Amino acid sequence: MKLNKNIKIFLNYFLGPIIFFWLSYSIYNQVKHQHNLEQSWLQIKQSFNSPLVINLIAVVLLMFVNWSLEAMKWKLSAQRVQPVSFFKSFKAILSGVSFSVTTPNRMGEYLGRVLYMEEGNRLRVISLSILGSISQLMITLTFGLLGLLILKPRIIEAGLLAWPTWINLIVFGCTAVLLVLTVFYFNLKWLAQWIDKLPGIRKYAYLFSELEKINATLLLQLLSLSSMRYLVFGIQYYLLFRFFGVEVSWWQGFWATGVTFLVLAIIPTVALVELGVRGEISLKMLGLFSTNNLGIGFASTTIWFINLVVPAVIGSLLILSIKIFMKRNERSERISPDN
């Protein structure tokens, strides 16, 4: 256990920043050698004083739409265990984001969400929360694979992979994962019963018991909301591409960012490293259609900041209010005349 803790410390505080700075330096070099760099920089500065600034405002508003859709997913899932209002779900989602920024692939988000559940329901609701994440992953894999297949000729022509067969291996691997996830996703009752029969896990079977009560209607609702979230991501990217002067069509931007999302889903990263990975992959994929590396880099960083950093800050404040609220309750109990 101590070794695992030391490894986590190394990954979070040493290896993560090293990878981040290495990727940032790589991005800097690509931007530095961009053709017409001064013209691109001037165009970006002019965007803040042009009607295109409405694009930036729209992206911020869509951030709230994005997390509202996720809150709806959480509400639909969690109410199987405990009734939850939309407002409470929204606060739980933002609190989860604040926990997720320091964990690989944002796995810590579940800890922030369960804080808003009653003590006896917190562990029981985790499996339902994971179900919502799986629905999002299935959508990400689906559109990412389509994007990879559509852009495959351009990727090979541009020489982005030293060994073109890698694309076929990635497609095959992701397709296999998607098929397995789909089978398990629509056969949760069977999955819960199978877990119940495993000797070492049987004592934890109650954590998965809620999965047996899930019906196809809820599963389709989660997939629909996940698809809507994915569409919001695509719109945000396209609006920022326009804002920062990246001349790509909507379909080019949609499929290129789809491949970017696919890579981010495959590679385990923490938030700081994700910024570098997101920027590097975006430069490679959007570079198939545009030479404006500066604009691509700004769009990628802005998306990361608006969709992750801002909600994480808000979520941190919400968690602080929970702690303060609990302390006040404890203090009032100590001075209560009934004690």
In order, the DSSP letters of 137-163 are: HHHHHHHHHHHHHHHHHHHHHHT-SSS
Contact between 292 and 247 under an 8 Å Cβ cutoff? The reply is yes
Longest dimension (CA), the chain: 78
In order, the DSSP letters of 66-125 are: HHHHHHHHHHHHHTTTS---HHHHHHHHHHHHHHHTTSGGGTTHHHHHHTTS-GGGTTTT
Give the containing element (helix H, strand E) for 132: helix 126-158
Positive or negative: CA dihedral 8, 14, 17, 19 = negative
**153 closest CA partner among 287, 291, 288:** 288
**How confident is the prediction along the chain (339 residues), in pLDDT tens digits per residue?**
444 556 555 555 565 556 556 545 554 555 565 455 565 556 556 667 778 889 999 999 999 999 999 999 999 988 888 888 999 999 999 988 887 776 666 676 777 788 888 877 777 788 888 888 899 999 999 999 999 999 999 988 888 776 678 888 889 999 999 999 999 899 887 777 777 677 766 666 666 777 777 888 999 999 999 999 999 999 999 999 999 889 899 999 999 999 999 988 887 665 555 667 777 888 889 989 988 888 898 888 888 888 988 888 888 888 776 654 544 454 444 444 444
Rounded CA-CA distance 95/116 in Å is 9
Model's pTM, two decimal places? 0.80
